[in-house]
Chain A
């Protein structure tokens, strides 16, 4: 993308008689700016919509209408009105606060929540930075959000805030253990920590999604989702801001725009863990039915007479139809994540808040042992049971045939005929096994590794 910007800049500079090299820093900065702009838009606009959604859902669950007036129908501009109100509020710092940390804490929280998006792919190859160990990176960054909350709790100089911060620290540090155990299972099945690889390994019919890979992945998803709710500090695990006990917990002393940064961070994290769940368990950007894999096979839809609008085999440049297919993939992922966020809201307005000892019990006595048992179960299933599960019986196994790619690619590959120009990363030799020999997605991915937006 940087080269693309440099070409444009070179063309513009050529008018005034200057020259910009293909590797100039200007292009890199422009490309980084575009990525950051798009991602901030996801977090900020996402928060705008989700807050409105939360009000509506809360209203419906409590048998009322929610906002109805601002912006005409459905009160869809309610959040904007809230935003204007928040900007207009006075930015107060308490007398006893540690001023520097108090002012910085919301930004730390927001930055941590936002950084995770850098590694989250929104479609095939559409990640701001395709990290080789993206799963690990996102988990590491998710753990940083607690830092902002702890700083806010400590620096406020208020006992309510301090208690909220301490609860949050204990909770998040505990819940990192089961969440890590849950995330390892898809990584283990696919054999890669690269989210693009994991998502692409689930291409094909919805039966290929890893949640239907075997009974244990189905069960472990629910453990993951529980722990994810707890790790982003949502009800029924929102002990850090328990308003019935702690006024407002860690953000008691905050007001105005700083306060709203905490909320943007919370909604950003909710969307991030839901997006991670979508990629790990629900096929990521692959739809339930691989439309963009089937369409190019229809006569007349190949993508122009010479095929210049669609991808050739193994091609990764820019093609209009392939671009449209990727846009469809982005919609798939955002829809799946939004469903995850909606379920979190549904849970929030349905279940009462737990006590702190109950939160710890849920983590240490239920989630950790369950995750460990399901983890061992998934391993044993993969190694020792040749029984077919749903995805082995259904047609269009992406992992078996390695020929489904939802990118408007012309003439699908024959079995196992992946392009070998780019060497695949080092993989261990596995013992041949009826259920696991086909589970090797590395070959399909190597074709598209250079695909960057």
Chain B
């Protein structure tokens, strides 16, 4: 019993979970049935999330369960069930594929081994093993805040130059989420049944303007609001350059200058950036008119303009937060308009556009 008492529970569980993860990973590679592969992969990934829990990162562990086990694998099996021609799909692996797979796997393994053995801190044994599990257990708040643009873990950064670069992950986050949204809407649009485009129906005359084209009320409202907002934004951008010295002298009272200073780069950014931004906002107004007149290329332009604005802003030294916010504000209504154009009663507005 004395011998048994010397065993470290933590290491035992680590070995157990690691063996489970590796064993089922080998089982994935050695079976032919796709659904069984998915099942073994579940167990392997579940054991990996067990390793995360063991390390005290409960958030990452839950994330692993949610995304990989609950999301990806369920969709995988779902896809197999929907598309399978025979009852139990089995995959035949050729020798060439084995060689290729082994090469890729071995090179990844080599990279990981070299990388993990190269870290200085991991080469010595930790002295106080009791304090390890809780080291990073409470950092999910910081991660979440970093995604919304605030790096609470870097608040004590002294160097102002470095601080400016630590405004969080808002911009990449917005780009990725916009990308996902567009992909999802596109997938939904492509996957739905297209009853209109069967060959039995005669092709509709091209470019014949039809008087009975119906505009969606929501699209009308969105386009109208968009024109007003873009016009106001353009006027504001053009007025920044002449007004800047006046505000610096505090001619309009403290309230106006307080609002002015909410966006710091308005003081510092170069004049050309504002001119460009104003022109781009004007271009947006024109593009909305184009969309209003049933032209498809207007929609494409509406997507390109916010991207151009983001580029101009990044060249003009704006904060990543402002760029991301502007990108989100610019792209979200466009995605909404596209969604509205593609849905609704047939023929949809998109189909009627030229």
Contact = CB atoms under 8 A, between A and B. Distances in A.
A335 interface: no
Contacts of A428: 141, 145, 150, 152
A101 B137 CA distance: 36
B78 interface: yes
Name, among B33, B81, B87, B145, the residue most crowded by chain A CB atoms within 10 Å (CB to CB): B81
Contacts of B63: 136, 140
Contact of B36 (A24, A101, A131, A166): A101
A426 B73 contact: no
B309 interface: no
A157 B140 contact: no
B12 A25 contact: yes
Interface stretch (A80-88, A147-155, A206-214): A147-155
B35 A426 contact: no
B78 A193 contact: no
Contact of B138 (A140, A150, A170, A426): A426
B36 A426 contact: no
Nearest to A146: B74
A173 interface: yes
Contacts of A141: 65
A427 B12 contact: no
Interface stretch (A13-21, A39-47, A265-273): A13-21
Contacts of A24: 4-5
A139 interface: yes
Given A24-B4, A139-B66, A144-B69, A151 B35 contact: yes
B123 to A, nearest CB: 26
A259 interface: no
A192 to B, nearest CB: 9
B59 A425 contact: no
Main secondary structure of the interface of B (DSSP, over half): helix
Contacts of B81: 150, 153-154, 162, 165-166, 169
Contacts of B69: 144, 147
Interface in B1-55: 1-2, 4-5, 7-9, 12, 33, 35-36, 39, 42
A426 B78 contact: no
B5 A26 contact: yes
Nearest to B73: A147
A137 interface: yes
A20 B152 contact: no
A137 B50 CA distance: 12
Contact of B4 (A26, A104, A131, A154): A26
A20 B140 contact: no
A90 interface: no
Contacts of B4: 24-26
Contact of A101 (B2, B39, B66, B80): B39
A98 interface: yes
Contact of B82 (A20, A131, A166): A166
Interface residues on B, range: 35 or more
A173 B74 contact: yes
A133 interface: yes
A25 B5 CA distance: 6
B214 to A, nearest CB: 22
A133 B88 contact: no
Interface string A410-428: 0000000000000001111
Contacts of A146: 70, 74
Given A155-B35, A193-B140, A150 B62 contact: no
B166 interface: no
B224 interface: no
A178 to B, nearest CB: 16
Interface string A115-155: 00000000000000001110011011101101100110111
A169 B9 CA distance: 38
B141 A151 contact: no
B180 interface: no
A100 interface: yes
B2 A140 contact: no
A136 B74 contact: no
B42 A132 contact: no
A139 B66 CA distance: 8
A332 to B, nearest CB: 26
B150 A140 contact: no
A271 to B, nearest CB: 20
Contacts of A132: 58-59, 137-138, 140
A165 B66 CA distance: 19
A143 B71 contact: yes
A43 B2 CA distance: 37
A144 B87 contact: no
A140 B145 contact: no
A18 B36 contact: no
B77 A150 contact: yes
Contacts of B140: 132-133, 193
A147 B68 CA distance: 12
B132 interface: no
Contacts of A144: 65, 69-70
Interface in B229-255: none
B75 interface: yes
A331 to B, nearest CB: 28
Contacts of A98: 33, 35-36, 88
B300 interface: no
B228 interface: no
A147 B58 contact: no
A427 B141 contact: yes
A150 B5 contact: no
Nearest to B65: A140
B175 interface: no
A426 B1 CA distance: 42
Nearest to A9: B1
B58 A137 contact: yes
Contact of B62 (A104, A140, A153, A155): A140
Name, among A13, A18, A137, the residue most crowded by chain B CB atoms within 10 Å (CB to CB): A137
Contacts of A162: 81
9 contacts: A19-B2, A133-B59, A136-B59, A137-B61, A150-B77, A150-B81, A151-B35, A173-B78, A425-B138
Shortest beta-carbon contacts, A-B, top 10: A143-B70, A140-B66, A24-B5, A140-B65, A137-B62, A425-B138, A169-B78, A25-B9, A140-B62, A136-B62
Interface of A: 13, 18-21, 24-26, 28, 96, 98, 100-101, 104, 131-133, 136-137, 139-141, 143-144, 146-147, 150-151, 153-155, 157, 162, 165-166, 169-170, 172-173, 176, 193, 425-428
Given A143-B66, A146-B70, 7 more contacts: A24-B5, A98-B35, A132-B58, A137-B61, A139-B66, A147-B69, A151-B77
